[in-house]
C-alpha cells in the first residue's frame, strides 16, 4: 500500500528567504505581464518571503498597469522568494504563488496566466539563479508528469475501495501502482542527486536537497548539505535546512525517545513517559488518511497478539476535528492509547518527530531508544517481535 511519502520527491519544501525594504534606488527584479480574464481584477503584484509559521511577509509590491504589465522593483539579498497576484488585494498562504530565485544583478521576466498562475515559468537572464531553476524544472518535467498520472490512478483505486478494505483485485492494482511509482521515484531521485553534484552552488540545489530530505537518511542529508557551496550554502534556505537536519538527528534511529504529553479523546493528559521500560509504537495517523486507515487492521492484529507480552501503541492523530477523530477510532476499533492536539499537520508531536507524511511509525525499545522508523505491515510486526524477544 502507498502513503503520502510516495509523492515526496515531486514536492519541493517551501523555505523562507530574507526580507529587504523597497526604495528609490532599486532595480527591476521582475518584469512581467498578467493575462486571462481575472487579470483586470489584480491591482498589485507582491514579492514575498515565507516565515517559519508559514505565513508570508511582504518584501516589495508594485501596481499593475491597465494592460496587465508590471515591474517589480526590489534589491533583496540572494535567495528564494514568492510572487503572488491576488485578485482581492490580499496576499497569503491560501493564494497561488510562483517561486523565483534571485542573486544580485539577476533580471527576471514572466507572463502569468491568471487561470493557472502557479504553473508560470519565470525566465532569468543568462547565468542567473532563475535560469538554473528552469533547467531543473525542464529536467524533472517527465518524472513529475508520470508520477502525477500514477497518483491519479492511485486515487481512483482508493475511491473504489469500500470500508477501507481492498479486494484481492484492488490490492493487486495498488501493488502494481506502488511498483511503477517506485521506478519513477528512483529515476527522479537519481536525477536530483546528479543535479546537486553538477550545481552545488545554485540556490535551487538547496530546494532540491530539501525535497530529497523526505526520502533519504539523515547521513545522506548531512552529506548533501556538506556538498553545497557558495551562495547556496550562504542562503537562508540552507540555514533552514541545516536546522531541520539538526532536529531530525534528535529523533533518528538510535536516539533516545523524546517524550511528549497530549490530550486523549476524553480530555485527559497522556504522556509517553508513562510507558518507560516498555516496548511501544508511536503511530502517526489521521481519520482522513486512507493509507493510515488501511494499515489499522495490521496494527490491531499485532496489538492483540503482542499486548500481553508488554507491547503498547500510542496513536497520534493529525486530525483537526474532534468528532472525525473519535468516529474513526470507534469505526476502526482502535483500543490502544489515542492522543491529539487537533492542530492537523501542526501537531506538536508530529513536529517534534519531523513527521512530513503519514502513516509514520516510531518504535521504541525497553531502554527508551528509538530502534526503527517508518516500518509498516509485516516488516513492522517482525521488528516488534524482535525487540520484544531481546533481553
Within 8 A by CB and 6+ apart from 340, the residues are 262, 263, 265, 316, 317, 318, 319, 325, 347
Residue 5 pLDDT exceeds 50: no
- The pTM of the full predicted model, rounded to 2 decimals, is 0.73
Nearest C-alpha neighbor of 5 from the set 216, 215, 289: 215
Distance in angstroms (rounded) separating the CA atoms of residues 327 and 334: 11
* Cβ–Cβ under 8 Å, residues 56 and 49: yes
**What fold does the segment set 261-389 form as a domain?**
Glutaredoxin (3.40.30)
SS3 126: coil
26-84 pLDDT, tens per residue?
A: 677 899 999 999 999 999 999 999 887 778 899 999 999 999 999 999 888 899 999 99
Whether 1-250 shares its CATH topology with 261-389 is answered: no
- Other beta carbons within 10 angstroms of residue 204's beta carbon come to 25
User: Can you tell me the distance from the alpha carbon of 17 to that of 10, in angstroms, rounded to the nearest whole number?
Assistant: 21
For residue 241, give the H/E element and its range.
helix 236-250
Cell numbers placing 267 = 480530555
Q: Delimit the domains of the chain by residue range.
A: 1-250, 261-389
Taking only the tens place, the pLDDT of each residue in 81-121 is 999 999 999 998 889 999 999 998 899 999 999 999 998 98
pLDDT for residue 2: 42
Residue 337 pLDDT level (bands cut at 50, 70, 90)? very high
Residue that the C-alpha cell 519513477 belongs to = 184
CATH topology of domain 1-250: Immunoglobulin-like (2.60.40)
Question: CB within 8 A of 377, min separation 6: which ones?
Answer: 1, 295, 298
Distance CA 330, CA 335 (A): 9
Amino acid at each position: 500500500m502507498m502513503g503520502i511519502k510516495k509523492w515526496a520527491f515531486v514536492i519541493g519544501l517551501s523555505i523562507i528567504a530574507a526580507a529587504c525594504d523597497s526604495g528609490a534606488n532599486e532595480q527591476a527584479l521582475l518584469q512581467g505581464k498578467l493575462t486571462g480574464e481575472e487579470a483586470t481584477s489584480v491591482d498589485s503584484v507582491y514579492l514575498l518571503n515565507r516565515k517559519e509559521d508559514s505565513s508570508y511577509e511582504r518584501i516589495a509590491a508594485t501596481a499593475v498597469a491597465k494592460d496587465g504589465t508590471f515591474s517589480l522593483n526590489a534589491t533583496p539579498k540572494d535567495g528564494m522568494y514568492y510572487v503572488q497576484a491576488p485578485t482581492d488585494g490580499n496576499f497569503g498562504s491560501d493564494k497561488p504563488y510562483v517561486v523565483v530565485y534571485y542573486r544580485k544583478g539577476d533580471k527576471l521576466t514572466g507572463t502569468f496566466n491568471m487561470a493557472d498562475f502557479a504553473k508560470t515559468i519565470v525566465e532569468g537572464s543568462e547565468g542567473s539563479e532563475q535560469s538554473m531553476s528552469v533547467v531543473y524544472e525542464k529536467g524533472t518535467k517527465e518524472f513529475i508528469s508520470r508520477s502525477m498520472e500514477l497518483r491519479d490512478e492511485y486515487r481512483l483505486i482508493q475511491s473504489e475501495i469500500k470500508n477501507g478494505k481492498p479486494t484481492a483485485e484492488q490490492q493487486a492494482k495498488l501493488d502494481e501502482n506502488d511498483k511503477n511509482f517506485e521506478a519513477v521515484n528512483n529515476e527522479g531521485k537519481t536525477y536530483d542527486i546528479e543535479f546537486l553534484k553538477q550545481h552545488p552552488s545554485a540556490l535551487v540545489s538547496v530546494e532540491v536537497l530539501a525535497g530529497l530530505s523526505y526520502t533519504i537518511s539523515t547521513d545522506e542529508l548531512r552529506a548533501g548539505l556538506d556538498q553545497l557551496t557558495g551562495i547556496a550554502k550562504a542562503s537562508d534556505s540552507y540555514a533552514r535546512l541545516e536546522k531541520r537536519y539538526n532536529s531530525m538527528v534528535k529523533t533518528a534511529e538510535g536516539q533516545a525517545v523524546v517524550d511528549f504529553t497530549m490530550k486523549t479523546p476524553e480530555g485527559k493528559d497522556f504522556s509517553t513517559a508513562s510507558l518507560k521500560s516498555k516496548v511501544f509504537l508511536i503511530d502517526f495517523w489521521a481519520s482522513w488518511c486512507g493509507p493510515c486507515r488501511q494499515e489499522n487492521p495490521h496494527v490491531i492484529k499485532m496489538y492483540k497478539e503482542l499486548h500481553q507480552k508488554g507491547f503498547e501503541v500510542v496513536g497520534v492523530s493529525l486530525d483537526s476535528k474532534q468528532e472525525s477523530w473519535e468516529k474513526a477510532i470507534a469505526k476502526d476499533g482502535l483500543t490502544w492509547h489515542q492522543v491529539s492536539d487537533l492542530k492537523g499537520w501542526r501537531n506538536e508531536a508530529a513536529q517534534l518527530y519531523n513527521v512530513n507524511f503519514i502513516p509514520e511509525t516510531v518504535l521504541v525499545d525497553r531502554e527508551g531508544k528509538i530502534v526503527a522508523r517508518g516500518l509498516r505491515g509485516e516488516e513492522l510486526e517482525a521488528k516488534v517481535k524482535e525487540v520484544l524477544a531481546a533481553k
